[in-house]
Amino acid sequence: MDAVSIREVAPRDGLQNEKPIPADDKVRLIDALSRTGVRRIEAVSFVHPKAIPQMADADEVWTRAWHNPDVRYSALIPNTRGAQRALAAGFREIEVVVSASDTHNRRNLNRSTDESLDDIAALIPLVHEAGATLEVIIATSFGCPFEGDIDPARVASMVERVRSDGADRTAFGDTTGMATPRRVKDLLSQVRPELLHFHNTRGTGLANVLTALEFGVREFDASAGGIGGCPYAPGASGNIATEELVHMLEDLGIATGIDLEALIGVAEMAEKMLGRTLPSGVLRAGPRTRLV
């Protein structure tokens, strides 16, 4: 049987575009997700609190959260200072973001794409010397809200650069949900990452996953309840909902190892924490196996 690995990103990506919630709630969310059978969780981001105030309590949240030995936890960092904090906190899986769009990179990180690539090259030895791995996430891989279409060749050249610099993994981010199956085919025909991060902003998230599966990609990000987005990209709402992704994959005979009912329970928890209706259809209707 085929299998897919899902990285749950609700505690970090899912919350960064929401009003700040108490550390207690963040800890409860991570702990609940750690009991669903998910094997990878993006737990926190070590960024300056003025840039992303929602992550200002990252150290406290990570210290208090349950660290399930069967789960791999990762942290997102923007720069060397963030990497130092993540390593000091004990993380051994680090993620860093660079945008294929120069405009978005300047909005997000206050520097050009080339400057960020240079920073990443200098960051890799620091991470490796600490016995950790670095994943480079290329944001706006499928399109930019400021620049429009992104040439797949540009993304491919960035992958070649970071791999030659020593990055351990690459991921492509669909920052504002501009990806469609056609765009996924165009990009994956040129270069393939280890992981894909799709949004469902325009309703094509699961269709994009199906297309990526045809190209052999077996790792995806998803967020409980479909929460998430980028604070520096207009319209960047809605990661694909983890429970919708698990529901579809399991029905296709593709194993995820995740307890769907437990996952729906976490999405319900997130909905109560945030005080608003979340966009997940499976959260509303339940799995196809649940009879009225």
Share of the chain above pLDDT 70, in %: 96
Nearest to 137 by CA among 88, 94, 177: 94
Average pLDDT estimate for 236-252: 91
Q: Is the dihedral of CA 213, 219, 221, 223 positive or negative?
A: positive
What pLDDT sits at residue 184?
98
Beta strand segments in 35-77, E: 40-45, 72-77
Residue 196 falls inside a structural domain? yes
Active centre residues (catalytic): 230
3-state secondary structure of 107: helix
User: By CB neighbour count within 10 A (0-12 exposed, 13-18 middle, 19+ buried), where does 118 fall?
Assistant: middle
Nearest-angstrom CA–CA distance, 154 and 156? 5
Instruction: For 122-175, write each residue's pLDDT tens digit.
Output: 999 999 999 999 999 999 999 999 999 999 999 999 999 999 999 999 999 998
Counting the structural domains of the chain, the total is: 1
Q: How far is C-alpha 175 from the chain's CA centre?
A: 10
Average pLDDT estimate for 248-268: 97
What pLDDT sits at residue 179?
96
Residue 290 falls inside a structural domain? no
Instruction: For 64-102, write each residue's pLDDT tens digit.
Output: 999 999 999 999 999 999 999 999 999 999 999 999 999
Nearest to 87 by CA among 40, 126, 61, 31: 126
Band (pLDDT 50/70/90 cuts) for residue 231 is: low
Over 70: is that where the pLDDT of 234 sits?
no
239 and 199 in contact (C-beta within 8 Å)? yes
What pLDDT sits at residue 230?
63
Instruction: For 114-126, write each residue's pLDDT tens digit.
Output: 999 999 999 999 9
Mean pLDDT, the chain, as a whole number?
94
Bridge partners (DSSP) listed for residue 5: 219
Average pLDDT estimate for 178-191: 97
Instruction: Tell which wins on pLDDT, 2 or 11.
Output: 11
Over 60: is that where the pLDDT of 235 sits?
no
Bridge partners (DSSP) listed for residue 241: 223
CATH number at residue 95: 3.20.20.70
Over 60: is that where the pLDDT of 232 sits?
no
Boundaries of domain holding 204: 5-285
What pLDDT sits at residue 292?
58
Average pLDDT estimate for 20-25: 96
Nearest-angstrom CA–CA distance, 10 and 236? 15
What pLDDT sits at residue 163?
98
pTM of the predicted protein model? 0.95
Over 50: is that where the pLDDT of 1 sits?
no
Residue 74 falls inside a structural domain? yes
Over 70: is that where the pLDDT of 188 sits?
yes
Nearest to 263 by CA among 44, 61, 27, 8: 8
Residue 292 falls inside a structural domain? no
